[in-house]
Amino acid sequence: MKNDREPNEIDGLLNAVLADDDWHALNRSLKNEALAAIGAAKRRRRLRHWLGQAACVAVLLVGAGWWLLPPAPSHGPVATMSIQPASPGAEEQFISEDEMLAMFPAGSCVVAEIDGQKTLVFFDAKKAEEGFAWSNGD
């Protein structure tokens, strides 16, 4: 069985159109456009590839820096105490032993010298827990 087509006059017309000079120019321009589109796609793909690699290298460098030199732990705000010298004319804020004893209930404590240091000693722990008894000294 023979499946070859026999040439007819439509084939002759098609051959005449394809042999035209305009067809060759169109074919060449379409090939050039296709090659330009393929080249642009390759350049974009290559650029994305390099950018991805550069991002990975940057992340690795930051991670290595973080691992080798960890950041110092941040502490909460630290209150600083400023020591201001007393002015020469200001009187000192100390109280005498008698004034200190007067702040507590009578007979509940005494000032004693222990190892060369004066210390407030309470006789009754319950009265010591009650705290100060402010008096105006009247």
More confident residue, 64 or 13: 64
Model pLDDT, residue 109: 82
Q: How many CA atoms lie within 13 A of 12 on its CB side?
A: 4
More confident residue, 32 or 132: 32
Decide if 110 contacts 123 (C-beta within 8 A): yes
What is the chain's mean pLDDT, rounded?
A: 77
Model pLDDT, residue 60: 95
Model pLDDT, residue 137: 47
* CA-to-CA dists, residue 37 to 27, 30, 69, 121, 125, angstroms: 15, 11, 47, 97, 96
Model's pTM, two decimal places? 0.35
Take residue 77 and report the two structure tokens written for it: 């705000």
Extents of the domains making up the chain: 9-68, 97-130
d(CA 135, CA 138): 8
Take residue 30 and report the two structure tokens written for it: 């379409």
Residue 128: pLDDT band by 50, 70, 90 thresholds? low
Residue 76: pLDDT band by 50, 70, 90 thresholds? low
Model pLDDT, residue 138: 46
Residue 75: pLDDT band by 50, 70, 90 thresholds? low
Report the pLDDT averaged over residues 79-94.
57
d(CA 57, CA 36): 31
